Amino acid sequence: MDNIPDVAFFVGGLIVIVAVIGYVSIKETQIKMQAKGAVEGQDRINAETAAEIARLRARLEVIERLLTDDDRKLSREIAQLRSEQVNANS
């Protein structure tokens, strides 16, 4: 009977240790899940950003083509008008 306080203290200590280990394990799992979610979220954001950049590049190519084609067309029209003016003055 003299050992009951010692055994109770030992069992109580084990319960506290197991509870702390369980708590730490649960927290570690939660942190890993949050980190995984953050990485997946960042991957989604990166994919959306890459898609948006691709769309913007395509639009920019169209705009560049329009601007370049208009410059060439305008140059041809000016050259044609000059040649018509030279022919009219001849």
Q: What is the pLDDT of residues 2-28, one digit of tens each?
A: 677 778 888 888 999 999 999 999 999
**88 or 16: whose pLDDT is higher?**
16
> Is 43's pLDDT higher than 90?
no
Give the tens place of pLDDT for each residue, 58-69: 999 888 877 777
For CA atoms 56, 57, 58, 62, the dihedral sign is: positive
pTM of the model as a whole:
0.47
- Mean pLDDT across the stretch 41-48? 89
